[in-house]
Amino acid sequence: MMRLILFSVLIFSFSINLFSQSANAIELMNKGNYSEAAVLFEKATSGSLPEYADLTNLAYCYIMLHDFIKAEATYERVMQHSKKENIQRFYFGEVLRINEKYAQAKEQYNLYKTAFPDDFKGDQRIRSCDSLVVWNKYNSKYSTGKIPAINTTSDEMFPWMSGGVLHFSSNSRTFLTAAGETSKYTDAQIFNIFSFSSGLVKHKKLPVTDSSSFTAYVPAYGKEILLTKKIKITPAGDELSPSIISIDQKHFVPAETPTGYVFSHPCLSNNGSRIYFVSDMPGGFGGTDIYYSDLTGATWGTAVNAGSAINTPGDEMFPYVTAHDSLLYFSSDGHPGYGNLDIFVSRINNGKWSNPVNMKSPINSIGNDFSIVYSDYPWEGYLVSNRYPDSKGGNDIFSFNLEKPVIAIPADTTKPFVYNADPSLLYAFFETGSSTIDPEYTGTMDSLIGLMKKYDYLNLSLISFADVRGSEKINTQLVTDRLNAVTEYFTTAGISASRIVGKPGTTSSDRELANLTFHAQIGYVAKENQEDYFEWRTYNKYDVASLKKGNGYSYFTGNGSLKEMQSLAREINTRFNLGAFVIVSYRNRVFDDTVFAPNRRVEMKLYNK
């Protein structure tokens, strides 16, 4: 009997000890001491019958410590627990996705999707896994770098270039102290604006009389745009109002807009006559959406939603439009991505935004990546991220660079040379009967403009063409209009007309041009990420890739000359009868046909004076 009593006392004492460990661990976890909390949760879950809450809390601590291997092992135990909840399948899927176990992650997301059919995240994460399989094979020409001089353990956000100076916001008191200033406010989320130039950080004082937290300073087109939150000091601490956008110290509110909703993340475009912003107002697609408003006289018009191509049931934020107004960069957690907020880019064509393209790693990471801006489009810029292990603690500002082509300068600079460092930069193609420059090629032209501004010895040769259809009169006008359109694009960007030698060509019937690539298409469907299916159709005899084409995706194999791909298409049809035929692409864009489309073009060549 005494032995039984002693055993009962030991069990009771052990239970009290475990409860105490769990309580202490939860307290540590809530304070952000994840490493210490994990040690206690490990002890509490070391037995064969751990508490369910202790297991999920341990997995959470591992995630916060970026130890995803241990987090995965812990979620395996969570899934075996009698009290497991379907919500944990989503988090298990997240960990598996981070660990690049995409097939297993999709299993968990599918189970989550079955349990929560109304939550878009299940399907979105499944598509993310399919995309990541392809993206991980992608060889990026981007690189990112840390900027130690402006990043602290606090948050640095909203980079913006103006007059060669980088402006940003920070809630760090270090920069204020270094400037010999103090703040009467105690809230850690109160931000100030700083500038960074020549290696020095300076506090930027702004002409605002109200007590404000300055979230962003984004001057553009001669206007001063601020994103602020008014501060009210109360006995309980500092209170911050919702975000307010002001343009030249005037409160921005689109016409016919309901009150009580957030307006944030401003970006001007169209020479200052359009503003893009973010709002959670009713009528959107989900959490926060991207909108725009146009200026008529002195009045901003009604807010226009950027549409379903851009906005999702998730959050879309931080819009940024390039100087030529053809590209919209933004962040989203609703489109397929690496996880959390990713940076995307979309082109406008005939007033509609194209399906966004994920900018992939290293621009994006498994953390939050947002607020991209360019300092030298398309080569250099900045973004904000809390990526691990590179950020110092909160959100940090990172630089990014796009690899530049190397210019081979001949020894005898008196002789002209054809610029061929990256020949894929040398074409702009047009739609049938059109002389409008497709935004697809403005990046090409901007790259050449950047080179001409940097190297004043470079001139530009332009030759325009039309396909053989149409009358001589129509084609003569087309080649002239196309030449004038491209010439005007360069002169508008500041390139002197004296450096441009233009020649309207004639009709062209070329089937093959340098740097066009031919493929054998074996399928065309509306859905993306169907490579595995078409490889299965060919019994895995061919590697299949895909490119966007029209409203769907072209699935193809092979990269080569027209003759090589004609032979490959015949081989596939003989073996599998799939109706394979030849397609042609340029810089990952598939043409509508291989006969006429390549001949509606302007050729652009740089040469020495």
pLDDT for residue 196: 95
Smallest Cα–Cα separation from 252: which of 283, 288, 298, 311?
A: 298
pLDDT for residue 17: 47
Instruction: Answer yes or no: is pLDDT of 419 > 60.
Output: no
Across the range 557-565, mean pLDDT stands at 89
Place of tokens 């791909």: 565
pLDDT for residue 425: 54
Instruction: Answer yes or no: is pLDDT of 466 > 60.
Output: yes
Instruction: Answer yes or no: is pLDDT of 15 > 60.
Output: no
Across the range 178-196, mean pLDDT stands at 82
Contact status, residue 558 vs residue 545, Cβ threshold 8 Å: no
The model's confidence at residue 135, banded by pLDDT at 50, 70 and 90, is: confident
CA dist 274 and 12 (Å) reads 69
Instruction: Kindly state the DSSP code that residue 152 receives in the 8-state scheme.
Output: -
Instruction: Answer yes or no: is pLDDT of 428 > 80.
Output: yes
pLDDT tens per residue, range 208-231 = 656 788 889 999 999 999 998 887
Within 10 angstroms of residue 262's Cβ, the number of other Cβ atoms is 14
pLDDT tens per residue, range 229-278 = 887 777 777 777 788 899 998 989 999 888 888 899 999 998 999 999 99
Instruction: Answer yes or no: is pLDDT of 295 > 60.
Output: yes
Residue 373: C-alpha distances to residues 160, 162, 168, 278, 503 (Å): 6, 11, 11, 16, 36
By the 10 Å C-beta count (0-12 exposed, 13-18 middle, 19+ buried), 566 is classed as middle
Instruction: Answer yes or no: is pLDDT of 517 > 90.
Output: no
Smallest Cα–Cα separation from 280: which of 313, 235, 241, 328?
A: 313
DSSP 436-491: PPPGGGHHHHHHHHHHHHH-TTEEEEEEEEE-S-S-HHHHHHHHHHHHHHHHHHHH
CA dist 291 and 304 (Å) reads 5
Helix, strand, coil percentages in the chain from 3-state DSSP, rounded to 5? 30, 30, 40
Structure tokens given for 560? 């080569």
pLDDT for residue 3: 42
pLDDT tens per residue, range 307-321 = 999 999 999 999 999
Instruction: List all residues 6 or more positions away from 190 whose beta carbon is below 8 Å from its beta carbon.
Output: 171, 183, 213, 231, 238, 240
Instruction: Answer yes or no: is pLDDT of 417 > 90.
Output: no
Contact status, residue 77 vs residue 50, Cβ threshold 8 Å: yes
Specify the pTM.
Answer: 0.68
- Pairing between β-strand 500-507 and β-strand 458-466 as defined by DSSP bridges: parallel
pLDDT tens per residue, range 329-369 = 999 999 999 989 999 999 887 778 888 989 999 999 999 99
Mean pLDDT of the chain: 87
Contact status, residue 286 vs residue 329, Cβ threshold 8 Å: no
Percent over 90 (pLDDT), the chain: 54
pLDDT for residue 515: 78
Instruction: Answer yes or no: is pLDDT of 74 > 90.
Output: yes
Residue ranges covered by each domain of the chain: 18-135, 151-402, 423-511+601-608, 517-593
Q: Which of 19-23, 337-341, 420-424 has the lowest mean pLDDT?
A: 420-424
Instruction: Answer yes or no: is pLDDT of 406 > 80.
Output: no
Cα dihedral 450, 454, 455, 459 sign? positive
Across the range 109-131, mean pLDDT stands at 95
Q: Which of 279-288, 383-392, 455-464 has the lowest mean pLDDT?
A: 455-464
Greater pLDDT, 309 or 409: 309
In this structure, what are the phi and psi dihedrals at residue 322, rounded to the nearest 5 degrees?
-70, 165
Across the range 76-82, mean pLDDT stands at 96
CA dist 521 and 122 (Å) reads 31
Domain 18-135: CATH architecture, name and number where available? Alpha Horseshoe (1.25)
Instruction: Kindly state the DSSP code that residue 105 receives in the 8-state scheme.
Output: H
Contact status, residue 363 vs residue 374, Cβ threshold 8 Å: no
The model's confidence at residue 538, banded by pLDDT at 50, 70 and 90, is: confident
CA 347 and chain centroid, separation = 13
Radius of gyration for the chain, computed over Cα atoms and rounded to the nearest angstrom: 29
Domain over 517-593 is classified CATH 3.10.20.740: no
Across the range 133-143, mean pLDDT stands at 84
Instruction: List all residues 6 or more positions away from 326 whose beta carbon is below 8 Å from its beta carbon.
Output: 347, 348, 439, 442
Place of tokens 């030249």: 248
CA dist 329 and 310 (Å) reads 10
CA dist 365 and 380 (Å) reads 18
By the 10 Å C-beta count (0-12 exposed, 13-18 middle, 19+ buried), 163 is classed as exposed
Smallest Cα–Cα separation from 462: which of 485, 478, 439?
A: 485
Q: Which of 146-160, 244-258, 382-396, 403-417 has the lowest mean pLDDT?
A: 403-417
Contact status, residue 318 vs residue 372, Cβ threshold 8 Å: yes
CA dist 253 and 299 (Å) reads 9
In this structure, what are the phi and psi dihedrals at residue 495, rounded to the nearest 5 degrees?
-90, 125
Greater pLDDT, 401 or 415: 401
Angle between helices 52-64 and 68-80 (to 10 degrees): 160
Percent over 70 (pLDDT), the chain: 92
CA dist 499 and 316 (Å) reads 42
Instruction: Answer yes or no: is pLDDT of 292 > 90.
Output: yes
- Residue 589 bridge partners (DSSP): 586
The model's confidence at residue 408, banded by pLDDT at 50, 70 and 90, is: very low
- Residue 302 bridge partners (DSSP): 255
Q: Which CATH fold topology does 423-511+601-608 show?
A: 60s Ribosomal Protein L30; Chain: A; (3.30.1330)
The model's confidence at residue 414, banded by pLDDT at 50, 70 and 90, is: very low
Instruction: Kindly state the DSSP code that residue 334 receives in the 8-state scheme.
Output: S
pLDDT for residue 297: 92
Structure tokens given for 120? 């878009």
Question: Top-level CATH class of 151-402?
Answer: mainly beta
Smallest Cα–Cα separation from 130: which of 156, 110, 147, 159?
A: 110
By the 10 Å C-beta count (0-12 exposed, 13-18 middle, 19+ buried), 155 is classed as buried
The model's confidence at residue 300, banded by pLDDT at 50, 70 and 90, is: very high
Greater pLDDT, 538 or 137: 538
Q: Which of 20-24, 105-109, 463-467 has the lowest mean pLDDT?
A: 20-24
Across the range 417-437, mean pLDDT stands at 68
